[in-house]
Amino acid sequence: MKKKLSLLMALVLSLGVFTACGSNEEASEEKADSKVEESADQAKDDKKEEGKEEDKSEGETEIVFWHAMGGGQGEALEDLTKKFEEENPNIKVTLQGQGKYGDLNQILVASMQSPKELPTITQAYPDWMLQFKDADMIANLTDYVKDGMDDYDDIFPGIRDEIEHDGKIEGLPFNKSTEVFWYNKDLFDELGLMVPTNYEELKEVSKKIYEEKGIPGVGFDSLSNFYITYLKNKGIDFDKDLDVAGPESVEAVEYYLEGIKEGYFRIAGTDQYMSGPFANEQAGAYIGSNAGEVYVKEGVDGKFEYEAAPYPAEKAFQQGTNIYMFDKASDEEKKAAFDYIKYLSSKDSQIDFALATGYMPARKSAVTDDKYKSSDSKIAPILDDASEKLFSRPLVPGSQQAYNDVASLLESILSNPNADVKAELEAFAPQFKADFEAQ
């Protein structure tokens, strides 16, 4: 009887997982990714996976990779995996798409209760892995890296900061992005404007565009990213010790709100993404993910010449996922899995994936390589400079919830030109503190 009840509970849990809605997707990165078709024909994909299972030969080591790459991103991943398998015929990689990021996160969490159901490796944002780390379920990759990866230091420092904790290397980078300054070059040339390099210059450029053309000069795709990056450039980290009602925090929000009041800044609002208003010449420039280049190009469609420039400050936020290995895998599976994720994070693979998807390579050697720099991407020529600015959000429990709550607060404040910034932030302070304490 107990056995039947256990099976019933497992079935209920499984149904809950697959019917749940992925509501906690990573805010800014989803802005670049959510327009991408996520697995156009899941049934066809499932059939492919079944075929892969049947094709597995004797003597092969099979590894399972859970991911959230759909559409062109998924195709790029499949191409790289096929090349890896051709070069490593003793390793079979079974790709299992789990829907969108939120769906992947949910099924990972649900599978914690049955570790045997977890894959060999998974794509994940670093804060998803905190609970797995606390449960000692994440494999330590340090020795694998030291013994089998002589180019680890080629990975950008701002990205290595995200995958190294407590003296351990916990993952390797996969799809990465940073924010850049997208601008209407024809408009800038007409008005004699220089590309801004700091927040004060950004404000002046925005004012000039508004005065001359009657449209907002600039908008930010992600309000949370704006806030975090503005504070980082003031030497303040986004963590539990942040005083959200302090002078620097008030300054950050008032900087944006002042532009809203005077008309030279705007938020995406109901447009959801600034690439739309930018392409329709309703804004002269905007700050958003480099991974959104395909949407900029499609939207502009020859109406004007556009360009990209590094984020206009000393520090720029980097986002995206890494690949993590679960400790439950056998030694043989771990070795095979490390060979695979090392391949995905290699210079050549990062270049190929970047050119196919718009993400940025995670390596210095990749962004300076002629194959990448000579592509028709507007991002490729500037990434060498842009990548020097990278920083990661502190990886602490509660930071993602705080990040989401800040986005909602700023949306509310910036939608009301008469908002009392100091009062709004003071009222929000207990919630911000609770986000970290609740974890």
The answer to whether residues 400 and 282 belong to one domain is: yes
Whether 390 is covered by a domain: the verdict is no
The answer to whether residues 278 and 268 belong to one domain is: yes
pLDDT of residue 25: 37
Which helix (H) or strand (E) segment holds residue 296: the answer is: helix 293-300
Whether 73 is covered by a domain: the verdict is yes
The answer to whether residues 403 and 269 belong to one domain is: yes
Whether 4 is covered by a domain: the verdict is no
The answer to whether residues 227 and 195 belong to one domain is: yes
Which parts of the chain register pLDDT below 50? 1-28, 31-54
> 72 and 104 in contact (C-beta within 8 Å)?
no
The answer to whether residues 424 and 276 belong to one domain is: yes
Whether 131 is covered by a domain: the verdict is yes
Beta strands in 192-241 (DSSP E): 218-220
The answer to whether residues 86 and 224 belong to one domain is: no
Whether 117 is covered by a domain: the verdict is yes
pLDDT of residue 56: 55
Q: Which structural domain, as residue segments, surrounds residue 152?
A: 25-176+320-384
The answer to whether residues 346 and 402 belong to one domain is: no
Residue 33 CA to residue 291 CA, distance in Å, equals 8
The answer to whether residues 367 and 247 belong to one domain is: no
Buried/exposed 153-181: b ≥16 CB within 10 Å, e otherwise: ebbbebbbebbebeeebbbbbbbbbbbbb
Whether 6 is covered by a domain: the verdict is no
The answer to whether residues 354 and 220 belong to one domain is: no
The answer to whether residues 190 and 299 belong to one domain is: yes
Q: What is the CATH number of the domain that holds 311?
A: 3.40.190.10
Q: Which of 360, 384, 408 is the last residue of a domain?
A: 384
Nearest to 28 by CA among 292, 357, 296: 292
The answer to whether residues 146 and 263 belong to one domain is: no
Residue 59 CA to residue 139 CA, distance in Å, equals 24
pLDDT of residue 199: 98
The answer to whether residues 288 and 225 belong to one domain is: yes
Contacts for 266-271 with beta carbons within 8 Å, 24 or more apart? 266/216, 266/218, 266/219, 267/219, 267/220, 267/223, 267/411, 267/414, 267/415, 268/219, 268/220, 268/221, 269/415
pLDDT of residue 388: 84
pLDDT of residue 38: 37
pLDDT of residue 57: 64
Residue 374 CA to residue 420 CA, distance in Å, equals 49
Residue 238 CA to residue 229 CA, distance in Å, equals 9
Into how many domains does the chain fold?
A: 2
Q: Facing residues of 390 across strands?
A: 316
Whether 15 is covered by a domain: the verdict is no
pLDDT of residue 384: 87
Whether 163 is covered by a domain: the verdict is yes
> 390 and 311 in contact (C-beta within 8 Å)?
no
Residue 9 CB burial class (10 angstroms; 0-12, 13-18, ≥19): exposed
What six digits make up the tokens of 65? Answer: 């990779």
